[in-house]
């Protein structure tokens, strides 16, 4: 039986329950997944200090694929440290409507948000100038812009759909203008992929009014952060969103990928066995696709959708199942 090694980054709150759910699904697959656990909980980080990140990054770079569960930001943000230490350049967040989940948006949404993982307004905390003003530097870099663009166009070519780049390029002419220039240049390598650019505020309205016109959206860091959370709100739950972060070599080849649920550690329900593992299972499905098991990865993601559509849901999205019962329902559909 073929075996795949996967680094598993354990965290806080509901992390243990999400891990148990992923393991249960992994055990039903026609190949073996060997999880290599590393404890990134706040207690573990307090004990080991920075050494734990040295060990984590080294193992991730050796194995090249990881799944991460939610971690608490205490004195430091594990997400930020991993992003910087692993040189993640691109974040991908697919968001799709789930039949069976109540929401206020009555249209079907199916978008892939591809964002630069660094820079934007997140790279500088800024500084106060006297009592009345503050300033921060906003950074857009050429290399991650091109990597995000290429990832977006590769994805659109695979899915036979369009690409829309978005920012405030008419206002932020230097920063967002640099990003848009790189996307347009990369687009010329993909003549078969329909491409256009839209201002970010216009795009938000467009998604709500005409969601069928948007499939792969590529944007700078903060725009993608705002957009993906809004999109999860439209489909009814942040708990249905998964994410993936990618690092690349100088030739554009992927050197490391980390997959994770988009939600937080949910300390208020931790240990009660009632959390929704959907996003973690969706992330695991995306991971399987990345390591070459595309058919199985798709099947895992579809099994989550089928369970929810059949009314086999956790309480947060209107059902009655606990975490283990929902996981068993997913396995039965798989």
- Dihedral of the CA atoms 202, 205, 206, 211 (nearest 10)? 150
Would you place residue 95 in the very low, low, confident or very high pLDDT band (cuts 50, 70, 90)? very high
pLDDT, tens only, 289-326: 999 999 999 999 999 999 999 999 999 999 999 999 99
Which among 154, 157, 123 has a CA at the least distance from the CA of 138? 123
Which among 72, 51, 100 has a CA at the least distance from the CA of 309? 100
- Predicted pLDDT of residue 130: 92
pTM of the model: 0.94
- Predicted pLDDT of residue 251: 86
Q: Structural domains in the chain? A: 1-87+249-334 (3.40.718.10), 103-235 (3.40.718.10)
With 0-12 / 13-18 / 19 or more C-beta atoms within 10 angstroms meaning exposed / middle / buried, residue 264 is middle
Q: Tell me the two tokens of residue 306.
A: 């089928």
Q: Which residues contact 204 (CB under 8 A, 6 or more apart)?
A: 227, 230
Alpha helices in the chain, H assignment, sequence order: 15-26, 42-48, 51-63, 78-85, 142-159, 175-187, 200-209, 221-235, 278-290, 294-309, 323-333
pLDDT, tens only, 213-236: 999 999 999 999 999 999 999 999
pLDDT, tens only, 138-180: 899 999 999 999 999 999 999 999 999 999 999 999 999 999 9
What are the Cα distances from residue 71, in Å, to 3, 63, 264, 265, 300? 28, 21, 7, 6, 24
pLDDT(123) > 80: no
Q: Taking residues 241-255, what's their average pLDDT?
A: 94
């Amino acid at each position: 039986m073929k075996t795949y090694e996967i680094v598993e980054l354990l965290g806080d709150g509901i992390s243990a329950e999400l891990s148990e759910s992923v393991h249960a699904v992994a055990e039903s697959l026609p190949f073996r997944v060997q999880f290599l656990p590393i404890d990134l909980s706040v207690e573990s980080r307090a004990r080991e200090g920075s050494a734990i990140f040295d060990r984590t990054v080294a193992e991730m770079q050796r194995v090249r694929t990881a799944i991460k569960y939610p971690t608490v930001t205490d004195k430091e943000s594990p997400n930020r440290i991993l992003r910087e230490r692993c040189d993640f350049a691109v974040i991908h967040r697919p968001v799709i409507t789930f039949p069976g989940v109540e929401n206020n948006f009555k249209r079907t949404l199916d978008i892939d948000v591809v964002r630069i993982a660094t820079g934007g307004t997140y790279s500088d905390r800024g500084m106060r100038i006297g009592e009345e003003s503050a300033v921060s530097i906003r950074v857009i870099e050429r290399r991650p812009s091109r990597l995000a663009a290429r990832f977006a166009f590769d994805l659109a070519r695979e899915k036979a759909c369009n690409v829309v780049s978005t920012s405030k390029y008419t206002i932020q002419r230097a920063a967002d203008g640099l990003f848009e220039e790189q996307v347009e240049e990369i687009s010329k390598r993909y003549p078969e992929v329909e491409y256009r650019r839209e201002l970010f505020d216009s795009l938000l309205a467009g998604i709500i009014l005409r969601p069928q016109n948007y499939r792969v959206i590529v944007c700078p860091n903060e725009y993608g952060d705002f957009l993906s959370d809004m999109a999860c709100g439209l489909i009814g739950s942040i708990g249905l969103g998964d994410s993936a972060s990618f690092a690349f070599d100088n030739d554009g080849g992927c050197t490391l990928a980390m997959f994770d649920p988009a939600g937080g550690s949910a300390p208020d329900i931790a240990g009660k066995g009632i959390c929704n593992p959907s996003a973690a299972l969706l992330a695991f499905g995306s991971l399987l696709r990345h390591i070459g098991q595309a058919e199985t990865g798709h099947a895992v993601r579809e099994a989550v959708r089928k369970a929810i559509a059949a009314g086999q849901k956790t309480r947060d999205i209107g059902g009655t199942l606990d975490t283990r019962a929902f996981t068993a329902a997913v396995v039965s559909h798989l």
